[in-house]
Amino acid sequence: MSSQNDAARQVLVSRGFALEYATLGWNVIGIVVLAVAAISARSVALAGFGLDSLIEIGASTVVIWELSGTGEDRRRRALRLIGAGFSLLAVYLLVQSTWVLATGFRPRPSPLGIGWTAVTAAVMFALAFGKARTGSALDNPVLKAEGRVTMIDGLLAAAVLLGLLLNSLAGLWWADPAAGHVLVYYALRETRELFAGEP
């Protein structure tokens, strides 16, 4: 019976690794795609979402370390680094988005950004669901917490997508920096939770 439980647990751990590596791979590609889209469209929201993808890579790396049996101290240090990254992201987005709104700087429509954020939202929701189920089956709070981060990442992709669509279809240029401010709220919240030691 014990060997069966060990085998079942190993299958779940392998699934957890697969979900995190899929998240890593998607976000690595996303950084390149979002950089191209942000530069061509001069979009603050796309640039901010690209930085968020970089931070998500760090979060996935933390979970991979934890699933590999990494010690608690190392995990705590990594989470502090992720928290510092989120705080820098919040400062960048707050300054840039406020400057764009104040000066009336208008981003260009971005078909690439629209397509990527739409697909990313769907992928992140699917990955978040898989992490929640696997984390619950393993009774692993780190995997479950990172699954919530992935869910928020999907919601952010949807928010950026909405801003891009409003700018492209209705000429509402302020929707792009407004989406940047949504990311500011998310980054500050994640910073607070990580430094407070919450999952």
What digits encode the pLDDT tens for the residues 156-182?
899 889 888 998 898 888 887 888 788
pTM exceeding the 0.75 threshold for the entire prediction: yes
Give the tens place of pLDDT for each residue, 134-146: 999 988 878 887 8
- The Cα 65–Cα 67 span in angstroms is 6
| Secondary structure (H, E, C), 175-192 | HHHHHHHHHHHHHHHHHH
DSSP track, 113-133: HHHHHHHHHHHHHHHHHHHHH
Check if the beta carbon of residue 30 is closer than 8 Å to that of residue 50. yes
CB atoms within 10 A of CB 99: 12
Give the tens place of pLDDT for each residue, 31-80: 999 999 999 998 888 888 888 888 888 888 888 887 887 667 776 777 77
Check if the beta carbon of residue 78 is closer than 8 Å to that of residue 61. yes
- The Cα 167–Cα 164 span in angstroms is 5
Domains of the chain: 2-196 (1.20.1510)
Q: Where are the alpha helices (DSSP H) in the chain?
A: 2-41, 44-67, 72-103, 111-138, 141-170, 175-196
Which tokens go with 178? 């407004």
